Amino acid sequence: MQAPQNQHHPQTEYEQRLKSRAAAVQAFVNQSDRFSTWRGLVFLAAVGILLAATLGELLSPQWLFAPAVAFVILVILHARCIRRLKRARLAEAYYRTALDRLNDQWIGVRPAGEEYYDPQHMYAGDLDLLGRGSLFQLICAARTKLGEETLARWLLGPASTTVIRERQQSVEELRTELDFRETLELLEAETHSEIEQTHLADWVRQPLISIPAPLQWASMITGIFAALSVLSWLFSWTGIAPIVVAIIIQVCLLFFVGPQIRELLNQTDEVRDGLPVLSDVLSLIEQREFESSHLKTIIAALQTDGVPPSRSIAQLRRAIQGLNNCFRNQFSAPLAILLGIPFHYLSAIERWLKRVGPHCPEWLAAVGEFEALCSLAGYAYEHPEDPFPEIVEPEEGPCFEGTSLGHPLLPLQQVVRNDVTLNSEHRLLMISGSNMSGKSTLMRTVGTNFVLALAGAPVRAASLRVSPMQAGTAMRVQDSLQQGASLFYQSVARLSAVVHLADAPEPVLFLLDEILQGTNSHDRRIGAQSVIETLIERGGIGIVTTHDLALTEITGLFGDLARNVHFEDQLVDGKMTFDYRMRPGVVEHSNALELMKMMGIKLNEAEIDPKSAETNR
């Protein structure tokens, strides 16, 4: 799937929308100022009428009715204006942030996703998938934990060909739904609360609360008796004794279910705040009609029991809030307990859990998936020049064939593009080259575009054909003083993990930077050859970089399956320059000694062997 033929211009669209939202903000500010003025004038008029009625007896107190009504109406209208002003300001900030993102000023703005990082993950750390300045932070537009968790899961694990294609179709449709994505994000921003998927999903799976029917009936009958007793007391028909009896009965009934109520209140504290935004988001999704089959499937899954999920969640929110008010609102609690209202809400929550609870995890998953898809759609919208990759069936063999590949985390004007072909006929690229010449960046370019492709997003390339497979990297290997592990030990441990990936039936895309650094050239050659042979024999494809030119000879063992390529530098007027272009063959010169000279380190020229087999880069 390629990029759309009629490409949009996000910069122009965002600027126009920002101008419109800024104008709306100013209009609402002016309107709010007018309401404040009118409220002040009405208040002064009321004070004048009051003084005239009490001091001068010029007016009747009934004249206060008109300004009182006018003041209440103005308060209501002013509150609505303030809500609209708040939303307009959120929309203005939304497009300012979007324009900053287009200008590569996005680092540190959106969620970074550090909480989803696992040090043992086979490529997340090496490819900058999570954390500050990561791929997650660039893409994530989710305002809830549901969306963040879903997007992180998609980036951290490849999907099947069917799922990837479904996501591509959904992202393509949502790409131009800018109003929908704006509304979704602003809805969540207005609530200042988060939907905690784990809390709500875990809660609905808890054993159902069970209030014995006799207690419910007893509380209801006592409540009716209490209401009649209060009315009788108000009209002085009876004394207060019946009311006291009703209170004692209700308190005794609550005593039997006290532990259940306390446990339920504690559990709902963790989910209550997220219910309003969940209801609003579900309502927004329910109202949309989509074309892609995957989005239609998600919408269809939300239709259960004939009641929209948004309404069901709203019912739960009201029941939980009502139960809280029965015990935690000092003004309403006495009357609520007297009338037996807690049992009403307990019964409502029990019925909700039986009827709706089993469907709740599906709704949460739908919200998370929509947010993740909208995040990918926003990324696709802001990168109209990036195409969707062609997803190759695994039966055709491992495949990563990209033309004009660039790193998606680099500013577009700084990207230098290269072609990379890895498949069943070309399984290995052995890269040699100068320091800082682009070897590691190329590997991360391949890895990051691989992640984007298998998540269902567009890629930074002219074209890309890729098949779903596992991935394993060994790039940012460090020693550990706390663990007592040397650099070489950590390198071996990481390589071992990558090799063990190849035990599975799925092929592996391996990206190995400076393989087996930390040991001598002889052992490095033997070890590297064994690792590469194992990975290729088990169907893997990948890239290996090295500073040891002896390792470049390994490619000769594999014939046409392996190729040597390199990056190089040029020394111009005493300055080292790089073009970051990948070239065929083995690098022919080193920049290590020149770099040391540039940093002020004196070298013994007599000891330098220009024909050294190792470049020490």
Q: Where are the domains of the chain?
A: 10-175, 197-270+305-355, 390-607
- CATH number of 390-607, picked from 3.30.70.1890, 3.40.50.300, 1.10.3210.10, 3.30.565.10: 3.40.50.300
Exposure on the CB side of residue 58, measured as CA atoms within 13 A = 7
Q: Which amino acid is at 113?
A: G
Note the pLDDT of residue 431.
94
Whether residue 523 contacts residue 506, with contact meaning beta carbons closer than 8 Å, is answered with no
Q: How many whole angstroms separate alpha carbon 99 and alpha carbon 77? A: 33
Both structure tokens of 2: 């390629």
Residue 382 confidence (pLDDT):
94
Are the C-beta atoms of residues 256 and 346 closer than 8 Å to each other? no
The mean pLDDT values, 10 residues at a time, for the chain of 617 residues are 59 94 95 93 86 70 80 93 93 93 89 91 94 94 87 94 95 93 80 60 69 68 72 70 74 70 72 79 87 89 78 86 74 68 78 83 88 95 95 94 96 93 95 84 96 96 96 79 64 89 93 83 88 94 90 91 89 74 84 64 60 42
At 448, list the tokens: 């990051």
400: its two tokens? 């990563």
What CA–CA distances, in Å, run from 370 to 152, 160, 177, 303?
14, 19, 13, 16
**Whole-prediction pTM value?**
0.84
CA distance 273 to 279: 11
Return the number of other C-beta atoms located less than 10 Å from residue 319's C-beta. Answer: 20
Give helix 65-102 / helix 178-191 axis angle, nearest 10°. Answer: 120
Helix or strand (DSSP H, E) at 422: strand 418-422
